[in-house]
Amino acid sequence: MNDVVITVGKSKVSKWEEEDKYYNGMIDSVAGPINIKARRYPYLETTANLDPKSFIVKTDVPIDGPLTILYLDGRSDAGLPHTRGLKGIALPVFLLWQPNNKTIQHEIVHLSQKQYSQRWWAWYKKVWNFRPAVEEEFMAIPLRWRSRRRINPDTLGTPYTVWQDRWIPLSVFLSETEPDLRYCKRGFWDIKLRQWTWESPPGWSRTFGSGFNDEHPNEIAAHWIDGSAGKDKQEYFHLNPV
């Protein structure tokens, strides 16, 4: 177990954007227009009065702290918790009054994935047979699907991945006219047959369960470790650490 210090802070948004270019990067992405449209409300810190404080969290993943939590207006990024930069956690302000340790653990995993990317990808390849997709593979996905991909701040850098050297999973917006970050669906591009399918590939559900929107090993791992996927999968990471 590792101890990591987390501080509740303010005014980190511009620094995070310099580090990860989460918002500015959308401008040049083929999926930029729909993602910008889905983020209708400005990305803003909460106006609630916060007393600066720090606390310690125990985690099983490799992590370099201290980390910073910034509470956002609940409408920013549809109120979805996420990570920014290498050490930032962005949470909707309602979690200030309803703290959720599972959410904190989930976001710590995502920061570990960013800080120790090579270790995580070596683990994904060895244990799950997941690897980053090469440009030739993901550019073969029809534009109609690539342009609807939900951009996820927790998977920046390697948004396209390949499972079993054949399938590229993607989470895409259900609506092109009224996109909503909370309403997306996972599909798969079959590299071998060069076709899109909504059906999970053979062996996927047996390995990863029935989570309908875990389209990336970063998200799958975070849900396993935070306990959302069940105690057996949480224990798996205790026995097979990254």
Give 18-47 pLDDT, tens digit per residue. 999 999 999 999 999 999 999 999 999 998
CB-based contacts of 118: which residues, under 8 Å, 6+ apart?
A: none
Outline where DSSP puts E strands in the chain. 2-8, 53-59, 67-72, 82-84, 88-92, 130-132, 161-163, 167-173, 184-190, 195-197
Q: pLDDT tens, 86-129?
A: 999 999 999 988 888 999 999 999 999 999 999 999 999 999 99
In this prediction, residue 9 has a pLDDT band, given cuts at 50, 70 and 90, of: confident
Is the peptide bond prior to 66 cis by the omega test (within 30 degrees of 0)? Answer: yes
| Domain definitions of the chain by residue range | 2-115, 117-239
Distances (CA, A) of 114 to 79, 145, 190, 194, 230: 22, 26, 27, 31, 24
Condensed to tens digits (0 to 9), the pLDDT of residues 122-160 reads 999 999 999 999 999 999 999 999 999 999 999 999 999
